[in-house]
Structure 1
Amino acid sequence: MDLLDILILVFTALLLCLWWRYSSTNVAKNLPPGPRGWPLVGNLAQVILQRRAFIFVVRDLRKKYGPIFTMQMGQRKLVIVTSSELIHEALVKRGPQFATRPPDSPIRLIFSVGKCAINSAMYGPLWRTLRRNFANELVNPMRIRQCGWIRRWAMENHMERLRREALEKGFVEVMSNCRLTICSILICLCFGAKISEDQIKNIESVLKEVMLMTAPNIPDFFPILTPIFTRQLRAAKDLRKQQMDCLVPLIQARKAFLEDSSGGGGDIEMASPVGAAYVDSLLALKPPGREGDCLGEEELVTLCSEVISAGTDTSATTLEWALLHLVQEQEIQEKLYKEIVGRAGRNGPITEEDVENMAYLGAVVKETFRRHPPSHFLLSHAVTEETELGGYTIPADANVEFYTAWVTEDPALWKGPDEFRPDRFLDGDGVDADVTGAKGVRMLPFGAGRRICPGMTLGTLHVHLMLARMVQAFKWFPVPDDPPDPTETFAFTVVMKNPLKAVIVPRFSCR
């Protein structure tokens, strides 16, 4: 350790002491209760020493402190909200007050280009502009119909890849195949380009690393220690360069195509007409609060990465969990198959209109969202100004964390919450459940209120179409002597610790 490192450590220690002294004498009155923390680190060391997932720590604290409690994690104050009533009050009834985001760590800011992304932008004009553009250009009904060919093209590749893998290995790996297909759809929606499977895999791999790099870590809780975390910052900058190297060529090819649609695009096949790709709208966008007239390549990469990453992981995770239950419970799979055949036939194409009219398919997907929400927490919220919730003070500088998984497990809201029963959404306790949370919070796979996921309809459509097509074409069985393991782990979304493998048999040979 050289002299500079020693000076940095001493300076940082002094700052920490000053911060601790200040925070301990200026604590907001009437904070929600919570566990007592250690000097300087708060509850962070206690969580680390438990050596288990944070969600299990939160479950235990909920039992002790009730539906709303506080944790001091280093410099970050976390107010954790777990009850249906308080989540609904905060996100829906008082949505604008709870609609902003807390400050980001230096590592996250590298990837968000100073919070220029729909998910991370502070509540205000920039966020409104980005979200409105997304809604108009990607998820409006006309655009969804116009881009139907992309889903059909990707689905044919998906089915062929499943057949090939089943012949080569004797089984298929569900998550990797679903991720690849959804990623190919979203890349084409963003850039209007058809690219090779190897290129898709490379982009998917880099964006997965970005998501893991930006997951909460020690630097998030001690921004004051940023000078010490030089290795992490270097790794983040190297990864950002990889991300740029993956996606900038697609942006440049699209620009060339827009300038000369008769032959632009170079070696990259541009398949979407002018104006039909998401990046087309971003190239002309002039969001408020950003330097320059238009978005630069850094911002374009961030905004397109956001769409690809969020849409790929949540949809693929949902498909894997849904197929786990179909593999384990053959009667549910057969009931779903009969509905699909009744609507689309044994070998007929499955359209967006078809899946909208498949009630049992919708029930299977909803029950998967309930039983296996993609994340146990929503993205961190913050209040626009100090306010009150549940009789307690919520400081303006606190991270407000909504632990929504408990809502789907609450026996006061669901009968047999640990059971997988799609029929509950047809004639049981799930009939009136609202996945948007607007009418009341019983499940929140996409969040609620002002910051609800803007890609909800598109992601749900992809899940419905892919699940229906896979069940129409194949009968799904567990791998002999290797039963599926439903143990959960965290990889941005909550996934199966041991990815699902299944034996598939073409339906015509089952008759």
Structure 2
Amino acid sequence: MDFIDFCLFFPTLIFLRLWWRYWSRNASHRKNLPPSPPGWPLVGNLIQVILQRRHFIFLIRDLHKKYGPIFTMQMGQRTMIIITDSKLIHEALVQRGPEFASRPPDSPIRLVFSMGKCAINSAEYGPLWRTLRRNFVTELISPMRVKQCSWIRKWAMENHMKRIKTESVENGFVEVMSNCRLTICSILICLCFGAKISEERIKHIESILKEVMLITSPKLPDFLPIFTPLFRRQVKEAKELRKRQLQCLVPLIRNRRNFVEKGENNNGEMVSPIGAAYIDSLFKLEPATRQLGEEEYVTLCSEVISAGTDTSATTVEWALLHLVMNQEIQEKLYKEIVECVGKGGEIKEEDIEKMPYLDAVVKETLRRHPPGHFLLSHAAIKDTELGGYKIPAEAYVEFYTAWVTENPDLWSDPGEFRPERFLHGDGVGVDITGTRAVKMVPFGAGRRICPAWSLGMLHINLLLARMVQAFKWVPVPDSPPDPTETYAFTVVMKNPLKALILPRVK
């Protein structure tokens, strides 16, 4: 028996009787929960999940076939209600949005990085969340601000095109994901801090924020808090990582404050006018429930950069995978771009709205490869019912939205990549925000929909259009693209896409 087994076995024996008594005493409160796979005392279904030796999202694909559109997973002390049906998702998130708009408790490690849930994504439904979200919408994604910051996207896209051309010459191919992440991250850093910084610093920030996302993924103490003392090393590592996160972002915050308050710009990195950077609005924001300081600023800006970078870059990579594998789709998209702006014309943000096939390619990518198979965990604000079952206020309500896009009752040939379905097929008129109905919700729906979804769509469309206009993307000889999925905060390609680029004839 190794050390981990020892640590798991004996505490389990000690607490088994106490837990069983608790379980029996509170059985009446758990009546009428959705159906559940048989579980064990103390650990519920946790051991079965661990023994599967595959990611949770792949297990849920099997369980929903057996237990239906809504079922329960008892993961240690965490009760999870899994919802897979489009009508139930729409009812919960849109029709009864306020009832399911809160978030469940965070783990100790997550709280290290969220400053006690002081973040738009993790804040409980209430005054703090409303203040943070309202400020974000006004200061970062309003039409006026998007237009004002269009030069940032133009600058980043030009650097992107130069970089992939250089990489192609030096390596013989382009690795899509790393380049897209760097470009999107540079845009979001400039939007947040109003600063142009070197690629080395951008890569450093990106790597630290990636570490943050990975270290906050669920761990055993999240489900069985009695084991928390055994994970002191992980908590210590999280605190050390938080220090590194602060060390790389606080200087940007202080430089921006000096620029805003004193007009100082000693190193010339501050390029956005005062009031145009997201952090400028946070300096003067005063939520009723707490005071914001440098640590809260780091949390809020990191949230924007992390969420926007991964989802956008992942979507572009999946889109290019299908364009590489299906040259006919790629040529059809290229033809539309040329007809709109010409072979060498500049693609401006307003041009994106004139490219319906580009929009169809991106939407089909989001349908076939949603960045997350689950939405972020929700929680009911009080005990309620859904689908005829009880939903306790303390439960984690998990919306498995990937099944919605795979459901043959909603989509014809759901496994096929066919952008045309959004022009004249079952995708016509589909609302990706889920407001009218839920057929695909890549950004969530209702009160907790990603507030920057429209900005993300703009970045994805612009980047894809620029890359297809300039180059023809083809497979690397003897190394065809591999569509195998894996999970790394978002659902990504297990083997990152590499492709050859051939300059278009102008």
Q: TM-score, normalised by structure 2?
A: 0.96
The Cα of 1:265 is off from its aligned counterpart by 3.4
Q: Distance in 1 between matches of 2:135 and 2:460?
A: 24
Q: Distance in 1 between matches of 2:333 and 2:478?
A: 26
Q: Distance in 2 between matches of 1:223 and 1:196?
A: 42
The alignment-based identity, stated in percent, is: 72
8 A Cα contact 2:19 2:41, kept in partner? no
Distance 1:9 1:251, change over 3 A: farther
The Cα of 1:9 is off from its aligned counterpart by 11
Q: Distance in 2 between matches of 1:235 and 1:410?
A: 41
Q: Distance in 2 between matches of 1:368 and 1:406?
A: 15
User: Counterpart in 1 of 2:31?
Assistant: 29
Q: Distance in 1 between matches of 2:195 and 2:440?
A: 36
8 A Cα contact 1:489 1:496, kept in partner? yes
Q: Distance in 1 between matches of 2:203 and 2:163?
A: 14
Please state if 1:439 is matched with 2:441: no
Distance 1:253 1:37, change over 3 A: same
Distance 1:35 1:337, change over 3 A: same
Unaligned runs of 5+ in 1: 1-5
User: Counterpart in 2 of 1:287?
Assistant: 287
Please state if 1:380 is matched with 2:377: yes
Alignment map for 1:421-460 (pairs within 5 Å): 421-460=418-457
Distance 1:184 1:7, change over 3 A: closer
Q: Which moved more, 1:220-229 or 1:201-210?
A: 220-229
Q: The residue matched to 2:377 in structure 1 has which SS?
A: coil
8 A Cα contact 2:16 2:41, kept in partner? no
Match of 1:482 among 479, 483, 493: 479
Amino acid at match of 2:414: P
Distance 1:33 1:276, change over 3 A: same
Q: The residue matched to 1:269 in structure 2 has which SS?
A: coil
Q: Distance in 2 between matches of 1:16 and 1:283?
A: 50
Q: Distance in 2 between matches of 1:239 and 1:64?
A: 41
Q: The residue matched to 2:123 in structure 1 has which SS?
A: coil
User: Counterpart in 2 of 1:219?
Assistant: 221
User: Counterpart in 2 of 1:492?
Assistant: 489
Distance 1:15 1:111, change over 3 A: farther
8 A Cα contact 1:37 1:43, kept in partner? yes
User: Counterpart in 2 of 1:47?
Assistant: 49
Distance 1:16 1:428, change over 3 A: same
Please state if 1:329 is matched with 2:331: no
Q: Which moved more, 1:214-223 or 1:456-465?
A: 214-223
Q: Distance in 2 between matches of 1:410 and 1:366?
A: 16
Q: The residue matched to 1:78 in structure 2 has which SS?
A: strand
Q: Deviations over 1:282-331 (max 9, x none)?
A: 011111221x4xx1111000000000000000000000000000000001
Q: Distance in 1 between matches of 2:43 and 2:428?
A: 46
Q: The residue matched to 1:504 in structure 2 has which SS?
A: strand
Q: Deviations over 1:403-435 (max 9, x none)?
A: 000000000000000000000000111002110
The Cα of 1:138 is off from its aligned counterpart by 0.5
Please state if 1:362 is matched with 2:359: yes
Q: Deviations over 1:375-419 (max 9, x none)?
A: 000000000000000000001110000000000000000000000
The Cα of 1:218 is off from its aligned counterpart by 1.2
Q: Distance in 1 between matches of 2:193 and 2:268?
A: 10
Q: The residue matched to 1:193 in structure 2 has which SS?
A: coil
Match of 1:315 among 288, 312, 315: 312
Q: Distance in 1 between matches of 2:20 and 2:158?
A: 59
User: Counterpart in 1 of 2:3?
Assistant: none
Q: Distance in 1 between matches of 2:249 and 2:112?
A: 16
8 A Cα contact 1:86 1:389, kept in partner? yes
Match of 1:405 among 394, 402, 407: 402
Q: The residue matched to 2:308 in structure 1 has which SS?
A: helix
Distance 1:351 1:16, change over 3 A: farther
8 A Cα contact 2:12 2:42, kept in partner? no
Q: TM-score, normalised by structure 1?
A: 0.95
Q: Distance in 2 between matches of 1:376 and 1:87?
A: 14
Q: Distance in 2 between matches of 1:282 and 1:14?
A: 49
Distance 1:16 1:269, change over 3 A: farther
The Cα of 1:344 is off from its aligned counterpart by 1.0
8 A Cα contact 1:106 1:223, kept in partner? no
The Cα of 1:24 is off from its aligned counterpart by 3.6
The Cα of 1:279 is off from its aligned counterpart by 0.3
Q: Distance in 1 between matches of 2:66 and 2:382?
A: 28
Match of 1:78 among 77, 80, 92: 80
8 A Cα contact 1:374 1:493, kept in partner? yes
The Cα of 1:45 is off from its aligned counterpart by 0.6
Q: The residue matched to 1:229 in structure 2 has which SS?
A: helix
Q: The residue matched to 2:405 in structure 1 has which SS?
A: helix
Match of 2:188 among 186, 189, 213: 186
Q: Distance in 2 between matches of 1:126 and 1:184?
A: 28
Distance 1:268 1:200, change over 3 A: farther
Alignment map for 1:249-268 (pairs within 5 Å): 249-261=251-263, 264-267=264-267
User: Counterpart in 2 of 1:144?
Assistant: 146
